[in-house]
Amino acid sequence: MSKYDPKDLNGVMPAMITSINKDETINKEGLRQIINHLIAENVNGLYVTGSTGETFLMSPEEKKEVLDIIVEEVNGRVPVIAHVGSIGTKITTDLAKYATHAGVDALSALPPFYYNFSNEEIYNYYSDIAQSSHLPIIIYNISHANLMDIDMLKRLAAIDNIKGVKYTAATHFNFEKIKKEIGAYFKIYSGMDEMAISGLISGADGMIGSFYNLMPEMFVGIFQNMKNGNVVEAKKLQDRVNMIILYALKKSGYPFIKMGLSWMGIDSGYVRKPFSSIVNTEIEKGIKDDLKKLMSENDLSEIKFLKAL
Q: Give residue 5's pLDDT.
A: 87
Query: What pLDDT, on the 0 to 100 scale, is given for residue 16?
Result: 98
pTM for this structure? 0.96
Share of the chain above pLDDT 70, in %: 98
261 has a pLDDT exceeding 60: yes
Question: Residue 2: what pLDDT?
Answer: 67
Is residue 6 scored above 90 in pLDDT?
no
DSSP bridge partners of 276: none
Contact 153, 141 (CB under 8 A): yes
**Please, which contacts does 242-248 make with residues 24 or more away whose CB atoms are closer than 8 Å?**
242/194, 243/294, 243/298, 243/300, 244/211, 244/214, 244/215, 244/291, 244/294, 244/300, 244/303, 244/306, 245/193, 245/194, 245/211, 246/194, 247/290, 247/291, 247/294, 248/211
- Which ranges of 104-229 would DSSP assign to H, the alpha helix? 119-132, 150-157, 174-182, 196-201, 216-227
pLDDT > 90 in the chain, percent = 91
Q: Residues with catalytic annotation?
A: 140, 166
* Confidence label for 33 from pLDDT (cuts 50, 70 and 90): very high
Under the banding of pLDDT at 50, 70 and 90, the label for residue 145 is low
Question: Quick one: pLDDT at residue 132?
Answer: 98
Could you tell me which of 89, 134, 131, 80 has the C-alpha nearest to residue 110? 89
pLDDT, mean of residues 101-107: 97
For residue 165, give the H/E element and its range.
strand 162-168
Give the mean pLDDT of the chain: 95
Residue 41 has pLDDT above 90, yes or no: yes
Per-residue pLDDT of 265-289, as tens digits, reads 999 999 999 999 998 889 999 999 9
Q: What's residue 140's pLDDT?
A: 94
Q: Is the peptide bond before 274 cis (omega within 30 degrees of 0)?
A: yes
Average pLDDT score over residue span 137-143: 89
- Report in angstroms the alpha-carbon separations of 219 from 42, 178, 264, 291: 10, 24, 18, 19
The whole-angstrom separation of Cα 55 and Cα 135 is 20
Query: What does the pLDDT read at residue 147?
Result: 76
All structural domains of the chain: 6-228 (3.20.20.70)
Q: What is the pLDDT of residues 192-242, one digit of tens each?
A: 999 999 999 999 999 999 999 999 999 999 999 999 999 999 999 999 999
